[in-house]
């Protein structure tokens, strides 16, 4: 397999089971979101994947975040696009290895993982049925060219953000929704009174959303 991952097999076995693919944030690792695994719906494969860029000391990134002389942050778009396509190839590997329903693949991303989840879903909507994007935003420069012409009729999104997030301002998340609506994508958006993290209520809300949108 091209990327390292942790797996929780489904407790309810079907002919083909749906997949929840967990994408961690910058500076984290595959263990981070996997702590949710036991609490997620039983019929899913839950797979937490590790980003390819090693930042040392157990920290990994999907792409570099650089600072210019004025301390403005900017993302390495080439690395982001490489990781976008690496994840899509990894999904194909998973579908070949496990009895996964290729029409029921959900991305759950936090921060940088959420930003990439948007880019993957908009670039390859035929491969992704749902995304849960927590503490992220849509950067259309990471999506494939002419993504606007794709068919998004089957894509559903649950997005959430902390109102006092110091890392990714909530305004960036709010700007995402009108773009999704213009593309005709069904999106639920919720805010929580937290910083750059996942509130317990946030977890319960997205889990309920998964149950309601099978």
Q: Are strands 73-75 and 65-67 parallel, antiparallel or unpaired?
A: antiparallel
Three-state DSSP class for residue 128: coil
Structural domain boundaries of the chain?
A: 5-212
pLDDT at residue 69 tops 70? no
CATH fold group of domain 5-212: Rossmann fold (3.40.50)
Would you say 91 and 21 are in contact if contact means Cβ atoms under 8 Å apart?
yes
- Please state, in angstroms and rounded to a whole number, the distance separating the CA atoms of residues 93 and 39: 25
204 forms bridges with which residues in the sheet? none
At 121, give phi and psi (nearest 5°): -65, -40
Whether residue 122 is predicted with pLDDT greater than 90 in this model: the reply is: yes
Q: What is the pLDDT of residues 127-166, one digit of tens each?
A: 999 999 999 999 999 999 999 999 999 999 999 999 999 9
| Pair 21, 7: CB distance under 8 Å | no
d(CA 62, CA 116): 8
The answer to whether 99 and 63 have CB atoms below 8 angstroms apart is no
Q: Which phi-psi region, left, alpha or beta, contains residue 71 (left: φ > 0; alpha: ψ -120 to 50)?
A: left
Model confidence over 14-40: pLDDT tens digits? 889 999 999 999 999 999 999 989 999
């Amino acid at each position: 397999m091209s990327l390292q991952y942790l797996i929780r097999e489904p407790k309810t076995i079907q002919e083909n089971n749906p997949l929840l693919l967990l994408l961690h944030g910058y500076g984290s690792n595959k263990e981070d979101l996997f702590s949710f695994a036991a609490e997620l719906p039983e019929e899913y494969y839950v797979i937490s994947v590790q980003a390819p860029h090693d930042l040392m000391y157990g920290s990994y990134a999907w792409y570099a975040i650089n600072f210019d002389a004025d301390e403005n942050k900017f993302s390495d778009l080439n690395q982001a696009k490489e990781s976008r396509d690496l994840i899509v190839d990894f999904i194909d590997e998973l579908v070949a290895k496990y009895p996964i329903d290729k029409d029921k693949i959900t991305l759950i991303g936090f921060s940088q993982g959420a930003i990439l989840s948007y880019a993957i879903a908009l670039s390859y909507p035929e491969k992704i049925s749902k995304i849960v994007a927590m503490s992220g935003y849509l950067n259309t420069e990471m999506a494939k060219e002419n993504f606007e012409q794709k068919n998004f009729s089957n894509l559903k999104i649950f997005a959430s953000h902390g109102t006092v997030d110091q890392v990714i301002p909530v305004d960036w998340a709010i700007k995402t929704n009108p773009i999704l609506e213009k593309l005709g994508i069904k999106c639920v958006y919720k805010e929580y009174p937290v910083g750059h993290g996942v509130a317990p209520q946030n977890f319960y809300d997205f889990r309920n959303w998964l149950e309601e949108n099978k």
